[in-house]
Chain A
Amino acid sequence: MNKDMSPIPTNNGDHSAADTGADLHYRSQLDQGNFLVQRCRDCRKAIFYPRMVCPHCGSNEIEWFAPSGRGTVYSTTIVRRKPEQGGDYNVALIDLDEGVRMMSRVEGLSPDAVAIGMKVLAKVVDGDEGKLVVFKPETAQ
């Protein structure tokens, strides 16, 4: 994923001087198909969701990078819904290999087949209100 991603403006990581907030930057990159997360230049820890200061050390020296997209299901639930309303669907928490957690869903298999510990890969899809990061099983073709 992200192979045709354009260079990412970082404003040298200084969001106090950035053109937009972290949220809009994330969203506008996502709308172009690029899934980006942040990393602190000081403590080097990854950050998600997008922040203006590092929640690990308080620094505002934050940069963007494209994660590998690889992750592991940390927890999962099936939201039960009547078939006529669209049927059951999955909601999961995914731990990215880079060390951050996000809410998402695992697609491409039955919601009850999604299991904690499952290795998954990110993909950017169209959601109801803009692009969305979802995951598919790593073993899927």
Chain B
Amino acid sequence: MMDKRLRGAAAIAGVGHAGLGFATGFTKMEILIQAAHRAVSEAGLTMRDIDGIATASVAATMWAMPVIEHLGIKPTFIESTMLGGSSFVAHLLPAIHALESGQCNAVLICYGSTQRTSHLSRAEIGHARRKLDPQPYEAPYKPLSPLSSYALAAARHMHQYGTRREHLAEVAVAARRWAQLNPEALMRDPLTIEDVLSARMVSDPLTVRDCCLVTDGAGAVVLVRAERAKSLKQKPVYVLGSSTAVWNRQISSMHDLTVTAARQSGELAYEMAQVGPADIDVVEVYDAFTINTLMFLEDLGFCKKGEAGAFVEGGAIAPGGRLPVNTNGGGLSCVHPGMYGIFILIEAVRQLRGECGERQVESAELALVNGNGGTFSSQSTAILGTEATL
């Protein structure tokens, strides 16, 4: 049961990013701090106003401590739950609780990664993870982590519902068409369905073009109580609903490979926000792989289970389509620094402020954000709205 009194209790007052694409010469901490500084400044606040912090790292298990140290703050609210890429969306609800209880007054949610330019190779990271976070009932079979897990889900979805590789490709092409409208996106050259289908196969049925980018990047948002947001610099974007769900860690423990825990997080977020899928103007979902977008459109109620393939046909989620999805170009074409969740929040905020230029969704008032982590393991849904939606 969601506490509806929390609907609209807090608002995002500032967003910022840094080091998108290639952050050569910078550490992940440095671009995180740059993004944080931009988000705080944009809100019309200073770092002295920040008394709550929410952050997580893929590699560092005590990541909140060096971030706090680098910023030189003494927060009274610290949230560092690590659920993979959904973490920063998942940090919203605990932050709202902390703001509402008076534990703190301004929460900085932040993340940074230099996985693209880092001296650590993916093989080294994979090796370390197998030691520190073993999955002994999967690792011996050498699935590509996390790619093969998503491939298994895609294969099952195709088998069960007749979804075709062309449907997966539609998702990649739509993301690219949005990216072409976003000067900040990394991949902006034309992409066709045929290009995706003929790209190098990595783990069937997913080709390299069904997979997200590997980039650097940092992002930050500042969350304050709604009343305070009204007096700050930016148009407030209110958090109307927020819920997080985890049903499993490993793909082999997923109950049904065609249904994610977004069904639970979505239902509860809608309940808190008192809106439904038909009310949503713009959708930002974590597209680590093309299958993600299809599964989330179904699990979040934009179409029936098994029908997302048909739903996205003919550019339906591309610019000019029936539902704007992943309007920055997504993890597939815009940016994907290891964990992407913070960037879907940022894009949703910018859409609701109406500052997205060529890719702006006309009169966007309600946005749905869905973060994903692990191998379809954690799902965190947030519903954001303008003042008109309160």
A residues in contact (CB < 8 Å) with B: 23, 48-49, 74-80, 89, 91-93, 101-105, 112, 116-117, 127-129, 132
Contact = CB atoms under 8 A, between A and B. Distances in A.
Q: Is the interface of A mostly helix, strand, loop or mixed?
A: strand
Closest 4 pairs (CB-CB, A-B): A77-B151, A75-B156, A103-B252, A49-B137
Contacts of A116: 155-156, 159
A93 B252 contact: yes
B143 interface: yes
Contacts of B200: 80
B197 to A, nearest CB: 15
Q: Among A77, A92, A112, A116, which residue has the most Cβ atoms of chain B within 10 A?
A: A77
Contacts of A105: 141
9 contacts: A77-B151, A77-B152, A79-B142, A79-B202, A80-B203, A91-B141, A91-B148, A103-B250, A112-B204
B144 interface: yes
A91 B137 contact: no
A89 B142 contact: yes
A93 B251 contact: yes
A134 to B, nearest CB: 8
A80 B202 contact: yes
A91 B201 CA distance: 15
Interface size class on chain B is: 20 to 34
A103 B148 CA distance: 11
B182 to A, nearest CB: 31
A60 B142 CA distance: 31
Interface string B111-149: 000000000000000000000000011101111100010
Contacts of A127: 140
Given A77-B155, A102-B137, A103-B137, 17 more contacts: A48-B137, A49-B137, A74-B156, A75-B257, A77-B143, A77-B148, A77-B203, A77-B204, A77-B205, A78-B203, A79-B143, A79-B148, A79-B203, A80-B202, A91-B143, A91-B152, A132-B140
Contact of B159 (A23, A75, A92): A75
B102 to A, nearest CB: 37
A67 B138 CA distance: 19
B148 A75 contact: no
Contacts of A49: 137, 252-253
A75 B140 contact: no
Contacts of A117: 159
A104 B203 contact: no
Contacts of B138: 103
A76 B155 contact: yes
B155 A75 contact: yes
A128 B140 contact: yes
A76 B154 CA distance: 10
Contacts of B140: 127-129, 132
Contacts of A23: 136
A76 B201 contact: no
A123 B159 CA distance: 26
Contacts of A92: 152
Contacts of B204: 77-78, 80, 112
Contact of A75 (B141, B152, B202): B152
B377 to A, nearest CB: 14
B345 interface: no
Contact of B143 (A80, A103, A129, A132): A103
B312 interface: no
Contacts of A78: 201, 203-204
A87 B136 CA distance: 23
Interface string B281-325: 000000000000000000000000000000000000000000000
Contacts of B159: 75, 116-117
A78 B152 CA distance: 9
A71 B341 CA distance: 37
A127 to B, nearest CB: 5
Contact of B142 (A74, A91, A93, A112): A91
B257 A93 contact: yes
Nearest to A55: B253
Contact of A80 (B201, B252, B257): B201
Nearest to A134: B141
Contact of A79 (B144, B153, B251): B144
A103 B203 contact: no
Given A93-B257, A116-B156, A102 B151 contact: no
